Amino acid sequence: MRKSRFTEAQIIGMIKEQEAGMATAEVCRRHGLSPATFYKLKAKYGGMDVSDAQRLKTLEDENGKLKRLLADAMLDNIVLKDLLGKPLTTPKVRREAVLRAMRDHDISQRRACVLIGVDPKTVRRERPPDNLEIRKAMQEIAAVRRRFGYRRIGLMLERRGMLMNPKRLYRLYREEGLSVRRRRGRKRARGTRTPMPLALMPNQRWSLDFVADTFGASRKFRILAVIDDCCRENLCLIADTSISGARVARELDALVRIYGKPACIVSDNGTEFTSRAILRWADQNNVAWHYIDPGKPQQNAFIESFNGSLRDELLNEEIFDTLGDARRKIALWRYDYNAVRPHSSLGNLTPLEARRTLALPDGSAPGALAMKPPADYQSQVGRLSL
C-alpha cells in the first residue's frame, strides 16, 4: 500500500474543517485531493484525535511484525523438518545442510547458518585441501599397494621423510578415499585354540602350507609356502602344477643349505606332508615335525596369516597368463614381502631386518646367521621361487 502524503494530524485537521461547516469541495481544493480520497480518509479517521491515530498506526505496525515473525517461524520449522534423518555431527555435514537449505527454500545464508548453528565463515569459502604433497604421496603408494591401510601407508611415508600425527594421517587417508574394503570369507565354526610356544630365534620353527590358484584358461597350480615363525621371513614360494612329497623334501634340502636346519617344522595333515618321503627326511635330518589337529588351522596361525597376505595382496590382485608369469610375479612379491613391506608384529621392521637384528648379539645366533651371507645369496634365494 502506497504511503499517504498526509500525516495523521493533517488528515484529522481536514476532517475537523469539514465538520466545522466548510464545504467538502473547498476542503479538497485547499489541500489538493479528490472528494473520493477525502471520504476514504474520513471513513478511516473520522471521530479520532491525533493520539488515537498514533495508536492505530502503532497497532498496524505491530500486527505486520507479528505476521512476518509467524511466517518466518513457519518457514524455519519447514527447513528444520527437511533436515531430519541425518545427524549433523561434523562440520562438513553442517556446511552441506546450510547450502541445501539455501538452495531448496530460498533463504539467506545468515538465516540458514543461525538455524543449523554454523559459523558463516565456514560456508562463505571452501577450505582448500591441506598437505598437498603428502596427499599426492599417499595416492602414489596406494596405487601400487592397493591393500595397504593407513598405518602401513604411514610407514612408507616415514621412509620418505614425511612424519605426521596418526590422527592427522587417518584424516588425510579418509579424505582421499583410500579406505580398503575388508574381504571377508564365510563364517566358520571355531574350535579351541591350543597355545604354542613362541619361536624366539630364527630356525627354531618353520611353518609349511599350500596355496592354490589358477593361470590361463582356469589351469590350476599350487604354491608351497615356507616361513620362519620367528622373523616372519618367507623362505620360499614354490609354484608348480603338481608338488609331491618327494618334491617338498628336495626343496627343504635346498632351504637347509641356505638358512640352516630348523629345530621344528609345523604343518597340517596333508598327504604331501604325511608321505613316506617327508617322514624319511625328518628322520634323516633329525627334525621334529609337528602336525596340527585336523580342522584346526588356527594352530598353524603364522603360515595362515602369511597365506592371507599372499592372497589378499597378490593372488586376488593379479591374473596369471602362464605358469612362468605366475612364478615371476610371485618372486617379485616375495622379495617385496621380505625386504620392503613393514610388519606390525615385528615392530614395523621387515623380515630381513628382523633376522639381522636377532643375529647381532654375541653368541645368541647360530653360526650360519652370524656369518656374512655369501655373494650369490640373492641368486640362490631367487632360484627357490622359480
Q: Which long-range contacts (CB under 8 A, 24 or more apart) does 31-34 make?
A: 31/6, 33/6
pLDDT at position 190 is 39
Per the rule left: phi > 0, alpha: psi between -120 and 50, beta: everything else, 161 is: left
The C-alpha cell at 247 is 618334491
- Give the residue with greater pLDDT, 369 vs 72: 72
Q: What distances in angstroms separate CA 213 from CA 83, 246, 369, 382, one per listed residue?
A: 50, 22, 34, 21
pLDDT at position 374 is 41
Q: Give residue-wise pLDDT tens across range 133-150.
A: 999 999 999 888 888 888
Please, which pLDDT band fits residue 55 given cuts at 50, 70 and 90? low
The C-alpha cell at 241 is 602344477
Q: Which of 28-37, 111-120, 362-371 has the highest mean pLDDT?
A: 28-37
Q: Give residue-wise pLDDT tens across range 368-379.
A: 333 334 444 344
The C-alpha cell at 165 is 600425527
Tell me what the mean pLDDT of segment 341-354 comes to: 89
- Show Cβ contacts of residue 189 under 8 Å, excluding neighbours closer than 6 positions: none
Please, which pLDDT band fits residue 339 given cuts at 50, 70 and 90? very high
Q: What share of the chain is helix, strand, coil (3-state, %, to 5)?
A: 55, 10, 35
Share of the chain above pLDDT 70, in %: 82
pLDDT at position 250 is 94
Which pTM does this prediction carry? 0.58
Q: CB atoms < 10 A from the CB of 230, how many?
A: 21
Please, which pLDDT band fits residue 77 given cuts at 50, 70 and 90? confident
Q: What distances in angstroms separate CA 84 from CA 95, 104, 115, 237, one per listed residue?
A: 15, 14, 13, 56
Tell me what the mean pLDDT of segment 208-235 comes to: 92
* pLDDT, averaged across the chain: 80
The C-alpha cell at 141 is 603408494
Q: Is the pLDDT of residue 352 over 70?
A: yes
Q: Is the pLDDT of residue 131 over 90?
A: no
Backbone Cα Rg of the chain: 42
Q: Give residue-wise pLDDT tens across range 277-320.
A: 999 999 999 999 988 888 888 888 899 999 999 999 999 888 89
Q: Is the pLDDT of residue 11 over 50?
A: yes
CA angle 362, 366, 370 (to 5 degrees): 60
pLDDT at position 50 is 57
C-beta of residue 70 within 8 angstroms of C-beta of residue 62: no
pLDDT at position 205 is 92
Share of the chain above pLDDT 90, in %: 33
Q: What is the DSSP string of 212-254?
A: EEEETTTEEEEEEEEEETTT--EEEEEEES---HHHHHHHHHH
> For residues 370, 267, 313 and 132, what is the CA-based torsion angle, rounded to 10 degrees?
-50
Which residues are bridge partners to 210 per DSSP? 224
Q: Give residue-wise pLDDT tens across range 166-212.
A: 999 999 998 888 887 776 655 543 333 445 557 888 989 999 999 99
pLDDT at position 367 is 35
From CA 337, how far away is CA 331, in angstroms rounded? Answer: 10
